[in-house]
Amino acid sequence: MQKVIQISTHAHNGLYDITDEVKSIVKSSGIKTGMVNVYVQGATAAIMIQENWDDSVQKDVVTLLNKLIPHGVWQHDHQDNNGDAHLKAGIVGPSETIPIIDGMPGLSTWQNIFLCEFDGPRNTRKIVVTLHNCTNS
């Protein structure tokens, strides 16, 4: 089974919680034991599992990546001024795979799934959610 989540982003760099959307897809699939892969289409965005108790960790992620990978100093900036976005997306990665346990994503209490936007704002980001059933029933 496969579904696409579409969201718009409002910041140049930011994390967007998509956990509820993924949980809804997993629940509606009826799969009790399996895997769910969450993959963002695009070379300047990523998927990350991170804490969502408050937004301080998300802000810290953006601050860290901006310090490690500053804007405006990369060769690719001469083409379209987003070299940092490509590097951030490459380091974080385009996907996460999560076990499905008892019909729900096997996230811990403090884990949520985030779209990481590094080249926004964007009218549409597409996230492909692919589910794999690991049982014969």
Mean per-residue pLDDT of the chain: 96
How big, in percent rounded to 5, are the helix, strand and coil portions of the chain? Answer: 30, 40, 35
Contacts of 8 (CB under 8 A, 6+ apart): 121, 122, 123, 124, 125
Predicted local confidence at residue 136, as pLDDT: 64
**Dist. CA 63–CA 49, nearest whole Å:** 17
The partner residues of 127 in beta bridges, in order of sequence, read 5, 40
Tokens of 112: 């949520």
Q: Is the pLDDT of residue 58 over 90?
A: yes
Q: Is the pLDDT of residue 36 over 60?
A: yes
Higher-confidence residue of 52 and 48: namely: 48
Residues 9/16, Cβ–Cβ less than 8 Å: yes
When pLDDT is averaged across residues 30-59 and rounded to a whole number, the result is: 96
The CA dihedral of 44, 42, 17, 29, to the nearest 10 degrees, is -160
CATH superfamily, domain 19-133, is: YjbQ-like (2.60.120.460)
Contacts of 125 (CB under 8 A, 6+ apart): 6, 7, 8, 9, 40, 41, 42, 45, 115, 117
Q: Is the pLDDT of residue 137 over 60?
A: no
